[in-house]
Structure 1
Amino acid sequence: MPDPDTAVLSVCTTCRAAGDTSEPRAGAKLLAALLAEAEREPVPGLTIEGAECLSVCKRPCTVAVVSPGRWTYVYGDFDALDDAEASARTLLAGLRRYIETPDGVVPWRERPEAFRKGVVARIPPHRKP
């Protein structure tokens, strides 16, 4: 049985900011910033990994968080070009709150602003029939 106090953050590594042609792509830069920030300030139970594509190309940079028994969220619009480190800190702060909840639903006012404005999708937890 999966541990309910764990979560996986998938970061779209193919995300490219509008007009940006640099390599690595913005999504890969965000992943690197997240891994570095998590090294400095770990989030217990959180695994961070790259994903080839999350198909949210109009809202780069995009991430998805999934956890057993919790709602899954897809967030977009994270800045990985001008301030990837700030985006990483914001994401990890929000995910700390997410992991602390029994269902993944952080009260609206307790969510970082980037989570309130950047939500692309909210997917209900899988329930066994």
Structure 2
Amino acid sequence: MTCDLCTLYVCTTCRGADDPVDGPRAGARLHDALRAALAARPGAQVRIEPVECLSVCKRSCTVAVASPGRWTYVYGDLDPAVSAAVILDGIGLYAGTPDGIVPWRERPQEFRKGVVARIPPAPVKP
């Protein structure tokens, strides 16, 4: 991996259409699945951070991947039951680029269909 450390922000308040009112939300289930999948990948340069909201409520479950000096991507419409491995694979591709831009055809299908935003890197102060 080229990236020293990538951060994966996971919206834990995302609610799926079928989520019970008093049960765990889809975003929290996705967060748990990602932590378990990451534990099975020792040495992966990914930090998973739960966040209260990414403001993409109409496209839950939502994650954002960021790294210093790279583009940030926001992805939605992820399935908490099956997306964890695909997300980590996609972050591996992201980490292997100098700027965070993975060619469209090389992205996992879930990332191609689920991209919500691409945000330019923050400028580096001189």
On the 8 A contact 1:75/1:119 being kept in 2, the answer is yes
TM-score (norm 2): 0.91
| Aligned position for 2:59 | 59
Task: Kindly state the Cα deviation for residue 44 of structure 1 after the two structures are TM-superposed.
Answer: 2.3
Query: What is the distance in 2 between the residues matched to 1:12 and 1:30?
Result: 9
Distance 1:119 1:43, change over 3 A: farther
Structure 2 residue aligned with 1:118, among 106, 110, 114? 114
**Does the C-alpha gap of structure 1 residues 113 and 42 become closer, same or farther in structure 2, counting only changes over 3 Å?**
farther
Q: Quote the residue 1:88 is aligned against.
A: 84
Residue identity over aligned pairs, in percent, reads 61
Match of 2:23 in 1: 23
Separation in 2 of the partners of 1:43 and 1:124? 27
Number of residue pairs matched by the alignment: 123
CA contact (8 A) 1:73 1:121 kept: yes
User: What secondary structure is seen at the aligned counterpart in 2 of 1:104?
Assistant: coil
Question: Tell me, which stretches of 5 or more residues in structure 2 are unaligned?
Answer: none
Show the counterpart of 1:41. Answer: 41
Q: How far is the alpha carbon of 1:33 from its aligned partner?
A: 0.3
**Which consecutive aligned stretches of 4+ in structure 1 deviate over 4 angstroms post-superposition?**
none
